[in-house]
Amino acid sequence: MHGRVKLKSTAQQEEEKRKEREKKLKVYVAARDACFNKRKEGTMDVEALQLTQQLLSSNPDFATLWNYRREILLHQETVR
């Protein structure tokens, strides 16, 4: 912002950033799809809980995942 030197990005740096964003997006989409498949199958295990945690840490505004997480926790509470 103010008083900071603006560094120009080279084309190589921009390409590296783009590749890193694509890599992160692929991981996110794969985790999201796995989570949706688990919910469709009715799976309420620890792995599903970990998937929701991973996804919600990067995107906390995903209401569907919060609801699935709540369902998992309620299911685990009743099983005990």
pTM score over 0.85 = no
Are the beta carbons of 72 and 53 closer than 8 angstroms? no
Distance CA 14, CA 29 (A): 22
Q: Average pLDDT in the 54-75 region?
A: 95
Alpha helices in the chain (DSSP H): 11-41, 46-58, 63-79
Specify the pLDDT at position 3: 75
Return the residue matching tokens 């991981």.
Answer: 27
pLDDT above 70 covers a percentage of the chain that reads 95
Specify the pLDDT at position 4: 78
Domain ranges of the chain: 12-79
Specify the pLDDT at position 80: 77
